Structure 1
Amino acid sequence: MRKQLFPYVARFLCSDTRLRARRYGYEIRRRLRRQPHCVEVFLRIDDPYSYLLLQVLPQLQQRFTCRLRCCTTLELAQEMFPDYRKWEQNACRDGVYLAGLYGLAFPARPPAFTPAAITAATAQLAAAETEPDFIGRALNIYHAFWSGAVPAGQLSAVLAQRLRANERRRRTLGHYMSAMLYYGGEWYWGLDRLDHLERRLNALGLAADGRARVDFDRTYRDFCRHGQPGAAQQPPLLVYFSIRSPYSYLGLERAVALAAHYRLTLEIKPVLPMLMRGMAVPPAKKWYIFLDTKREARKFGIDYGFVADPLGAGTERCYALFEYARSAGKAVPYLLNYARAVNRDGIRSETDAGLKTILARTGLDWDKAKPLLHRDEWRSWADANLAELFTLGQWGVPCFKFGATVAWGQDRLDVIERAVVRGRSD
């Protein structure tokens, strides 16, 4: 019964109706309490995305009539990162890319930070929170820290208590990361989700100049709007993908569009979901990903939310038939139809009825597919795909590779597109 109800519950929880009701309720409560519009910002000194986010906060202050309350954090929830070292290395590379995209400061080769330096700089930030010009003070601290200067500062009992209060506040509100903005029950991560916050503040009429514009959309503004490259043969676009990953679903939809626009060969490399590899995904992370996927899907015009989780048998059955679909020349439509079925249509792929529907949509034969469901040769290539992903310096999906260009996350398909447009893959 739970599996039958789950898609309907998921659809309600991420529905536009519920979102509008929650926002309306928040706004009514704010007015009744006579509170100003306030965005809370959670920063961490050694987080690349916090450094970038801090640099654009003055722009937000100028553009919108709302307060910013910045909170320094030190705690790092390691359980939220499957491989923190790889995440950190990718974040630094990504920081260079985003800085170039938005004209911000970020070192091409970030210095190595010692625990003592991190603590000292964090103490400086925490001490500056009570200053009227916190953002200006914080920018000076960040610039010095990321340029390799050795900070001076001690984490007093008072400052340590302030950090604990900030981190407790973040946990109470339901999150775990830094470079996060919180407004009215919703979270916005770094530069990549500022567009959602901009739209929300615009809808509330908070644009200081009355112009409802979105500035932080450069990673997708020109998606599939460039001319096609020349006739020279292009390498294939590789997509490392999990049938259970919501972001993989968005990434696949967009990668299919990208490949069609630029006439690229698309090759999908499925891997097992994290939970089927013995890794944990904490509830706060799952909830954020679910709601974030919905708003990203809405932005891109992709239907999402009527979710029938394929964890376990649904994933195994999907991968067991992948080689059959590939041998029929239908690998991409098969996975696309499967992803749509479990993310958009509420189809339970662990059932024969559900799987028959997916195969029929793809033009594959159920009688030929059924005997293959009990075979497990797919585990070998799924493991090989995961090993390839690790050799690329990545740890999760979706991940994209075009020649020598590698990009993690559906947010970075523009990195791949730029490489395609350049007509080279370096």
Structure 2
Amino acid sequence: MTLTADLYFSFRSPYSYLAMPKCRAAIARYDLDIALRPVYPLAIREPTFFERNHPNWLRYTFLDVLRLAQHDGITMLPPRPDPIVQDIATRQIAAEQPYIFALVRMGQAAARRGRGFAFADAVSQLIWGGTEGWHADAHLAAAAQAAGLDFAELQAEARDDAVALDAELAANQAALEAAGHWGVPTLVFNGEPFFGQDRVDLAIARMKAAGLEERA
């Protein structure tokens, strides 16, 4: 019997990126479907968060994700460009955001087709794996193809159905909070949230207790 879990994910979250290899390995090994539930990054939902937080927060996060990536053998480099336009010195979020809205809407369009996880996995490797100019159509088209999707179709849907997609993204965020958390990455299984890339193994253990089996 196939078990299903929801993964609440942000394309701007380095911890979401670090969770993907563990989730990918679990899907390959077990009779498991992980449904991607993309959300807008914190910088969009709460633009003043970074200015209000402790000055060390951002610096510590950079340090932490890089050492985690090194520990797990995952390639990680600063995104070029950052999916969110932000002045790192002042931590201020720019009013104009040319990348994130189309990207997250395409992620939700992929999720509509049941290919959200594969799309997010491929795109996050572009963003965090060192691909300069990851936002170029050629790069995103290759990621979409790897996920079994048509990039032109996703791009058109993100543009033409933006209002409905944004409503679905807001519903994803509401569902995450209803499950008991607010941040990403969070796996939710049987209504129980597992927050952080370091909780994936614990979530899998809970799934095994519920009957998760290895693929034949």
TM-score range with shorter-chain normalisation?
0.7 to 0.9
TM-score relative to the length of structure 1: 0.42
1:286-327, Cα deviation, whole Å (9 max, x unpaired): 221122111111222211114232123332222222354345
Q: 1:336 aligns with which of 112, 121, 126?
A: 121
The alignment yields a C-alpha RMSD, in angstroms, of 2.3
Residue equivalent to 2:71 = 299
Question: Which amino acid in 2 is paired with 1:379?
Answer: D
Structure 1 equivalent of residue 156 of structure 2 = 371
Distance 1:318-1:388 versus aligned 2 partners, 3 A rule: same
- Residue of structure 1 equivalent to 2:45: 277
- TM-score (normalised: structure 2): 0.78
Structure 1 residue runs of 5 or longer lacking an equivalent are: 1-232
Correspondences of 1:22-421 after superposition (within 5 Å): 233-279=1-47, 280-281=49-50, 282=53, 283-308=55-80, 309-311=82-84, 312-326=97-111, 328-375=113-160, 376=162, 377-421=164-208
**Matched-pair contact (CA < 8 Å) for 2:194–2:200:** yes
Structure 2: 5+ residue stretches without partners: 85-96
Deviations, residues 209-240 of structure 1 (Å, cap 9, x unaligned): xxxxxxxxxxxxxxxxxxxxxxxx25312111
* Cα distance in 1 for residues equivalent to 2:195 and 2:170: 19
Identity of aligned residues (%): 27
Structure 2 counterpart of 1:249, one-letter code: Y
* CA-to-aligned-CA distance 1:2-41 (integer Å, 9 cap, x gap): xxxxxxxxxxxxxxxxxxxxxxxxxxxxxxxxxxxxxxxx
**Residue identity in the other structure for 1:255:** C
Higher RCO structure (Cα 8 Å, ≥6 apart): 2
- Check the 8 A contact 2:10/2:185 in 1, yes or no: yes
| Structure 2 partner of 1:204 | none
3-state SS, counterpart of residue 237 of structure 1: strand
1:314–1:348 CA contact under 8 A, matched in 2 = no
Preserved contact between residue 337 and residue 362 of structure 1 (Cα < 8 Å)? yes
* CA radius of gyration, larger in: 1
Offset, 1:416? 0.6
Kept after mapping to 1: 8 A contact 2:179/2:192: no
Describe the SS at the equivalent of 1:313.
Answer: coil
| Number of residue equivalences | 193
Q: Which amino acid aligns with 1:365?
A: D
Deviation at 1:248, TM superposition (A): 0.7
- Deviation sequence 1:231-256 (CA, Å, 0-9, x none): xx253121111110000111122112
